[in-house]
Structure 1
């Protein structure tokens, strides 16, 4: 048996968990069939960078600003984005996403000099750096922050570099081998983070696969509740 095929209608919800290794055959309203291959992806990064342990920042409403960023944090590790003024980047200043900051803090690489109050009171009540950043993240996007943080850290543990995938309608785009930002390769994956009980809507899945293929990236799904192991799936269109 070359392919284990599962046949579904275009309006039928398909549970994501346990789908790896199957071929999804979606029958549309005109009885045409579109095939999708679902596999467990190999995510083998080669980014060789270890952040220093003395990064200091200020927690704002939705990011952390590092006023005196260490050499290499952005250029080699691709953490954050330079803070820009009217004409150019402000030298030495980086803005980290809450995901980047929480991950660095969890690895004892980032400390906070100040927590700017926002009115929600969540982060201000935390004395621990990681807890303060995570509390701010949850205030911004709820439990989804925990799932995205778990996925971000898993990708970093695999020596891949995750960055926002917003412009592609995804949670992350990933770079497997970053030497310097100046010689940045094209990103290889689009990652969507979903709950373990997620069910695919074939119409939406088809759109996601089409978009990823159109920008020459592999579509990945991370199934996670934010605490346990992550189940990774890759989905691509098959042409018989």
Structure 2
């Protein structure tokens, strides 16, 4: 089978339509079969076709003028060799269930290809995850590392469920010490059972700035004056440039009746408890609107979360809402 290069496509005559009918390669167009660059290179490498005036290496060199091409080809080859039919777009690729192909099945995965050094734009990823969900597809990131290994991540819009822990309404006096507020609370108080703060001494609990500000806003904690509240917020903001996003996410999690506690030991903002469970099940990292993050950092976060049996959620804070997005490693 001999094809011709036309632009970015490899064109085969219509008598080669069997590649499409039996293997799901290319797309019929009139009396020809059009192969995407990844498809053509894969078939050349398997000695299924040839391209006039090109070898595998010369065609690879041509296509690699697009810096993203090589990793896309590596993903295409990996998916094919796992027994799936894969075609270009939407996103970068669509993948069919094993045993299914174009015309005789529907695509199951939508895949975006990245490298380990790429910067992830969360707003874009959220939109692509929503688009995949609306099309009833599973959205994956396929990340190629510097040694040409591929790691797959399932991306889901995943708001934490109601944690079942009712909020407290008991009012209490608070005293500010730097970025901490002390409240007088007995060991069996509702503040302890709701995991607010940490025991400071026999009579007091020490609350973090985020916990304190949340309870001040709800009218649960009363400081000596309105000025004291404003001054406490200013001092807390000066010492924590992520405070606004953290407070927004903390508030949302508490409104969902979950219990967020610091996630510092895991490298993130919060570990989250729900339903009276003894161990946290979720790590949450708050992000301001438009924030980006290297894929390598996300990879480390997901690996750590999985190693301690937790989900990894990133909470993207917008003006009117908070969008939670889950990254989870998966095997195809």
Query: What TM-score does the superposition give when structure 2 sets the normalisation length?
Result: 0.61
Partner of 1:64: 181
Q: What pairs up with 1:75-94 in 2 under 5 angstroms?
A: 75-83=192-200, 90-94=201-205
Deviation at 1:197, TM superposition (A): 1.3
Q: Cα–Cα, structure 1 residues 52 and 69, in superposed 2: closer, same or farther, change >3 Å?
A: farther
- The alignment yields a C-alpha RMSD, in angstroms, of 1.9
Q: 1 or 2, which has the higher helix percentage?
A: 2
Q: How far apart, in 1, do the equivalents of 2:186 and 2:212 lie?
A: 13
Which of 214, 225, 229 aligns to 1:103? It is 214
Partner of 1:138: 237
Partner of 1:176: 274
1:151 equivalenced with 2:264 (yes/no):
no
The DSSP-based 3-state class of the residue aligned with 1:19 is helix
Q: Cα–Cα, structure 1 residues 68 and 32, in superposed 2: closer, same or farther, change >3 Å?
A: closer
Q: How far apart, in 2, do the equivalents of 1:233 and 1:91 lie?
A: 40
Q: Which runs of 5+ in 2 are unaligned?
A: 1-106, 130-138
The DSSP-based 3-state class of the residue aligned with 2:265 is helix
Which of 222, 229, 233 aligns to 2:325? It is 233
1:222 equivalenced with 2:315 (yes/no):
yes
Deviation at 1:127, TM superposition (A): 1.9
CA contact (8 A) 2:198 2:205 kept: yes
Which of 103, 127, 134 aligns to 2:227? It is 127
Q: Which runs of 5+ in 1 are unaligned?
A: 84-89, 115-125, 179-183
Partner of 1:14: 120
CA contact (8 A) 1:53 1:108 kept: no
Aligned length: 215
The DSSP-based 3-state class of the residue aligned with 2:312 is strand
1:4 equivalenced with 2:110 (yes/no):
yes
Q: Deviations over 1:81-119 (max 9, x none)?
A: 001xxxxxx2231000111110011111110138xxxxx
Which of 246, 254, 260 aligns to 1:162? It is 260
Partner of 1:52: 169
Deviation at 1:188, TM superposition (A): 0.7
Structure of higher CA gyration radius: 2
